[in-house]
Structure 1
Amino acid sequence: MPANDTEPEVRVAVQHPERESRSDELIRSRPVTHTPDYTVVVPITGGLFDPETRINVRRLLQTALALANDNDGRVQLLGLAAVDDEASLNTVRGYIEADEQPTPDTTQLLKFIDERQSQLARIVDIARDLDPALSINATVRVVTDTTRGILDVLASGSEMAVLLLRGTGLGDGGLLSRSTIDTVLAEAECDVFVENLGTQSGEGALYIPNIEEHTVASLAESEAEAIDSVLLPVGEGPHSALAAEATRAVATAADAPVTVLHVIDPDASGKAKSDATELLKFAEYVLGPDVTVDTELQESTDTTAVILERAQTHDFTVIGAPEQQSRLKRLVFERVQQTLTQRSDVTVLMARDSDGTMRSLYYRWKQGMDAMEGSNGSD
C-alpha cells in the first residue's frame, strides 16, 4: 500500500481463513534483524481512532513502554481492522499480495485499510517520541474476528505479553469487547495485562485526529496526566508476583512511589499475621531498591472496601488477577474496576501470570524461607 515517506513503516497482514494459526504474509516489511525476545503486544481497535473516545494516546502507550523496558523487550502495536466477511479478506489480500487494482466496489474498503495504516503510523511516531531507544513496531491486521486475530498473534511467539486496553465511558468493553478480554484471559498462553485507562484527561489532543481533516490539536502538544503514586494490593494468589513486577515497571518509568497493601482478617492467627508481614517484605524485594516503597498491613473483614478506599488516593493501581475458582473473581477486581472507572484520574492494571504457581509471591516466599531453614540460616 502506498505510504508517506515521512511516516514510520506499518506492515499489513491478513487473517487466514483456516482456524489454525499460520504465519502472516507481511507486506513491505524491513529485512529480518535481531529483535529482543520479550514482546509486549498492544491490540488497538477502531475505537481509539474515534474522536468520541477521547483517550490520551500518550497515556495509552506509557504502560506498554514501561513493561517492555522492564523486561529489556520491545513493543508491537497491533492495529486491528475488522471487515465483514471472508470475501472482504480476500479482496484486501488480493490488493496487497497480488497488486490487484481496486474496483469501484472495493475502493471504500481499501481506503479504510489505508487509513488504519496511516493512523497507526502516527501512534508509532508518538511512541518513539516517548522512548526513542525502545524497539517499537506496528502491524495492521485485517480480520473478521478480533478475538481470533489477537490469539493468533500471541501464539506465534514464546516470550510474549499482551496489554488489553479498556476505556471509561465507551460502553460495554470500551476499546475491546468484554468477551474478547475474557477469552484472551482464559486462552492466551502468555502473560496478560488488562488496563482500564479511565478518561485520562490531559492538555491537547486526546485522540488520533482524522488523517485528512478535523484535527483538534497537534499530537505533539498532547500531554497525559502524570502518575504520582502507585498502589499495589498484594495477596497469596498465583498472579501476585507478576503484579509486583508490573508495578516496578510503571513506578520506575514514572518515578513514582509505591504503597504495598495487604489486608488481613482481624481474627487471623499470629502465624497468619507473621506470614502477611513477610509477604509485604517480599513484595518490597521484588520492587527493588530503585523504587520508593511504603508497606501497609491493614486488618479488615472487607478486603474490597479497603482496596477501593486506598486506590482512590493513588493515580495507578495494580492488582493480580483473581484465581479462576475464587469467590473473589467477580468481587475484588470487578468491584475495584467498576468503582474506579467512575473517576477520571485513576487507572487500574490487572496482571494474569502465564505460570502463576511458580511466580506467586506466597510460594516464592515459602521457597525462600524453606531454603534458608535448610541451610541453617546461612546466606
Structure 2
Amino acid sequence: MHNPRSDKPVLVGVESLDNVQQLVRTAGDLADLGAGTVRVVTVAVKRSDSPFRVFSDETIVREFADSSHELLDRATTPEGVTIERDVLVARSAARGLLAAVEETDPAALVVGWRPQEQRTDAVFGTTVDALVERAPCDLYVERVGHEANGVDSILLPVAGGPHVETAARAAIAIAARNDARVLVFSVETSGDAAALAAEGREALAGVDGPEVPVETTVRESDDVTGAIVDEAAAHDVVVMGATRKGSLRRKLVGSVPRRVVDQTDRTVILARSGDVVGGPLHELGRLLRRW
C-alpha cells in the first residue's frame, strides 16, 4: 500500500472569512505533502431570485475578486506552500465547487461544516452532502468553530473500508507539520479490531511524507461511539474515515462519525475517498444533471 505525493493542488471551499484560516491550515498541511499549492474557491451563487441575476458572470467575478486581498491576508499557509484564489459563479455553492473539482482535478477538496440546531434529512447540510456524494476527489469535511490551539496528538479511529488511506494522509500531514504523534484507535466488537488497527498503521506507513510517531490502541467496548469520544479527550484532532453503514448519504458518511462530531469538542475532520465516486453510474448522473 503506497499513497504517493500528488502534483495537483488542494482546493478549499470557503463561504465565510471567519473560517478561512482553519480550513486553509488543513489544506496547507495536505498540500505540503504534494504540489505545495492551495487554491481557495469562493462561489458567487446566482439563483433566479438572486440580486446578482441582473449582472453578467464576468461582473460578479470582478466584484468578488476585489475582496481577494482580505481573504488571502487571513489565509496563511505553511512555509513553502503557495495560495491562490478562484471565484466562480453558479446556481448553488455545491454546483460551483463541483465545477471547480471537475475543472481542476485536485488532489483533494477541503470544506467546512458547522452543526445546525435544527435537524433535517441532510447529514451535513445540502452543500456538503452533495459534495460527499458527487465530488470525484478525496474530500475532507472539517467542523469549523472548533479549532485546536496547538496540536500534539492526532486520533485516527479505524474500522476498515475504502476511506482509511484518505484519513491516514490527513493524519500524517497534520502530524508532520506540528511535530505531533498519531494514535491508531480500534474498538473491539467482532474480533477483528487488531487487524483493522494494523491496516491503519499500514495506511500511515504508505503515505509519502515525513515519518511521525505512531502508536496503536485496541479497546473492547459495546459502544463504539462512546469509546472514540472518550479517547478523543486525550487528543487535539480527530481524523475519521467515513463508514459504510446506512443508506443514501449516510452510506457514504456513516452514523458513527456523525455522532462523534456531536459528542466531542475536539477538531474533527471526516475523510472520504474519491475512489468511491465514479464509474458509469456517476457519469450517467453527471450527464443527466447537465441535461
Give the aligned partner of residue 167 of structure 2.
243
- Say if 2:83 is the partner of 1:120: no
Give the aligned partner of residue 182 of structure 1.
129
- Say if 2:179 is the partner of 1:255: yes
Q: Report the CA distance between 1:303 and its aligned residue.
A: 1.4
Give the aligned partner of residue 149 of structure 2.
225
Q: Report the CA distance between 1:284 and its aligned residue.
A: 4.7
2:109 is aligned, of 156, 162, 167, to: 162
1:350 is aligned, of 265, 270, 273, to: 270
Give the aligned partner of residue 279 of structure 1.
199
1:40 is aligned, of 10, 14, 25, to: 10
Give the aligned partner of residue 144 of structure 2.
197
With the length of structure 2 as denominator, give the TM-score of the two structures: 0.78
Query: How many positions carry a matched residue from both structures?
Result: 266
Q: Report the CA distance between 1:185 and its aligned residue.
A: 0.7
CA 1:132–1:117: 2 relative to 1, 3 Å:
farther
| Distance in 1 separating the partners of 2:194 and 2:234 | 27
Preserved CA contact (<8 Å) 1:322 1:333: yes
- Say if 2:215 is the partner of 1:294: yes
| Distance in 1 separating the partners of 2:213 and 2:127 | 36
* Larger gyration radius, structure 1 or structure 2: 1
With the length of structure 1 as denominator, give the TM-score of the two structures: 0.62
Q: Percent identity?
A: 29
Aligned with 1:351: secondary structure? strand
Preserved CA contact (<8 Å) 1:89 1:143: no
Preserved CA contact (<8 Å) 2:138 2:274: yes
Aligned with 1:136: secondary structure? strand
**What one-letter code is carried by the residue in structure 2 that aligns with 1:64?**
A
Give the aligned partner of residue 85 of structure 2.
138
Q: Report the CA distance between 1:337 and its aligned residue.
A: 0.9
Q: Report the CA distance between 1:330 and its aligned residue.
A: 4.4
Q: Report the CA distance between 1:339 and its aligned residue.
A: 1.3
Give the aligned partner of residue 76 of structure 1.
39
**What one-letter code is carried by the residue in structure 1 that aligns with 2:86?**
T
**What one-letter code is carried by the residue in structure 2 that aligns with 1:156?**
E
Give the aligned partner of residue 30 of structure 2.
67
**What one-letter code is carried by the residue in structure 1 that aligns with 2:153?**
S
1:339 is aligned, of 263, 266, 281, to: 263
CA 1:247–1:117: 2 relative to 1, 3 Å:
same
CA 1:228–1:92: 2 relative to 1, 3 Å:
farther
Q: Report the CA distance between 1:248 and its aligned residue.
A: 0.4
Give the aligned partner of residue 208 of structure 1.
none
Preserved CA contact (<8 Å) 1:172 1:178: no
Deviation string 1:300-337 (CA, Å, 9 cap, x unpaired) is 22211111111122111000011264788542011001
CA 1:179–1:323: 2 relative to 1, 3 Å:
same
Is the deviation greater in 132-141 or in 279-288? Answer: 279-288
| Distance in 1 separating the partners of 2:193 and 2:7 | 40
| Distance in 2 separating the partners of 1:171 and 1:136 | 35
| Distance in 1 separating the partners of 2:36 and 2:57 | 34
| Unpaired segments ≥5 residues, structure 2 | 1-5, 278-291
Q: Report the CA distance between 1:167 and its aligned residue.
A: 3.0
Preserved CA contact (<8 Å) 1:81 1:113: no
| Distance in 2 separating the partners of 1:66 and 1:312 | 23
RMSD in angstroms over aligned alpha carbons?
A: 3.2
CA 1:284–1:65: 2 relative to 1, 3 Å:
closer
CA 1:62–1:159: 2 relative to 1, 3 Å:
closer
Q: Report the CA distance between 1:352 and its aligned residue.
A: 0.6
Q: Report the CA distance between 1:286 and its aligned residue.
A: 3.4
Q: Which runs of 4+ in 1 moved over 4 A?
A: 86-90, 168-173, 324-330
Deviation string 1:330-360 (CA, Å, 9 cap, x unpaired) is 42011001112xx2xx111011111259xxx
Deviation string 1:13-43 (CA, Å, 9 cap, x unpaired) is xxxxxxxxxxxxxxxxxxxxxxx84121111
Aligned with 1:163: secondary structure? strand
Q: Report the CA distance between 1:67 and its aligned residue.
A: 0.9
| Distance in 2 separating the partners of 1:280 and 1:322 | 14
CA 1:183–1:56: 2 relative to 1, 3 Å:
closer
Q: Report the CA distance between 1:84 and its aligned residue.
A: 4.0
Preserved CA contact (<8 Å) 2:112 2:142: yes
Give the aligned partner of residue 52 of structure 1.
none
CA 1:233–1:89: 2 relative to 1, 3 Å:
same
CA 1:347–1:89: 2 relative to 1, 3 Å:
same
CA 1:185–1:311: 2 relative to 1, 3 Å:
same
**What one-letter code is carried by the residue in structure 1 that aligns with 2:56?**
R
